[in-house]
Structure 1
Amino acid sequence: MTAKHHETTLDYKNTTKKVPKGSASYCCDNCQRIYKHHSSLWKHKKTCGQSTELTLASLDNLSDKDIIMKLINENQEFKSIIMDQSKTLHELASKVGTNGNNNNNNINSNNKTFNLNVFLNETCKDAMNISDFVSSIKMDLDDLETTARIGYAGGISGIFSHNLKDMDTRMRPIHCADLKREILYIKENGVWERDSTLLIKAIKAIALENIRQINEWKKLYPDCTDSDSRKNDLYLKIVSNSMCGIDKEETDKNLAKIVSNVAKQVVIEKN
């Protein structure tokens, strides 16, 4: 260590001072940090002192003018860095804001692209009434036997599905606007109504027509009521599964299943 370096270090070490009682005991004059114990300050000075020694050593050969210019330049560089960071943050904030606005515009735009009233009253203005749709359904004995095999809900749902899938969307008497909540719009008397009870009535009407086929089926298999007949088991299933349910709970459950199945068939494509 040079004499000059030693002198500088000594000057730094002599800057340590004890602060008044009632507060922390030791203070570093270089960085103004305060410590309660001398040992803590001593450890601190190892790094703080090195930094100071280097700074003082680097300034030793500079004139006052050079030192001032160096400080000014460093300050300008620091200001430039802060300004650049501020500019970058501002640009990022603007970009995030723009993206948010674009997303909102897209959402709003998407909401505006589909208008339910326009779809129902203009696009589907020539749709059938639900009662006319039910009257147009032609059932056969296969529908009766299918209901016997898979149950009331599955059989009646199948009859609806078969007759709806081949229809032009604009002619359908039923549309589902929200599958999750099963929001259904049904046309009757030339008016679109959000009324699922109209669908329940249609379900019961179709189920009744299916039951009426039982006598026709029995004519084909007159011995079906005989317990020894090969058709007896099928006959019993036909009679049992053609009914909506043995009590209100089972009836409501079956009707709910059919409504759900029909809703899936007629979900409105909003794209």
Structure 2
Amino acid sequence: MSRTCPPKTFKCKVCNFETRKKDHWERHLQTRKHISVMNSKKHSCEACNFHTNNKFDYTRHLQTTKHKNMVNEPTKRNANANSEDAHLIKELLVKQSAIMEKIVEMEERKEKRNVDLETIVSNMAQNNSITNNVNTTINNNFNLNIFLNEKCKDAMNIEDFINTLELCP
């Protein structure tokens, strides 16, 4: 029995690159993408949007008044936002209670209609009368030209009639 070792893979987790060939790996290490990712800023302050590679610059930044003001400012904003949120919540609760009242009123009307319909159906069941409605429509269509030809054969042509009229001066 011969044992085969799985081929060695080279992985760059930062760039999401994987290969089995060493020369491809070495070429990847020289690429612009890999170098820029590796040289990216390691220390960053999200509150101030400050980025640096040097830890000393980062700790010095943390001691500045700019950083302290930026960190304290969101807490002031949060206090104002909380009072505004409480006001909005109160408004929403008032609107919700009004909507709930309308829904309850609609349900009551629906129940009343159901009761009315049940009484009508029970009354109809007691009457048991059969009503037959038969509607007969007869359309008498005739052609006007045929009528005129049959009944008014001797009639004067309309153009001749107009020519015989005397116009008053």
Task: Answer whether TM exceeds 0.5 for this pair.
Answer: no
TM tier relative to shorter chain: 0.3 to 0.5
* More helix per residue: 1
TM-score, scaled to structure 2 = 0.35
TM-score, scaled to structure 1 = 0.25
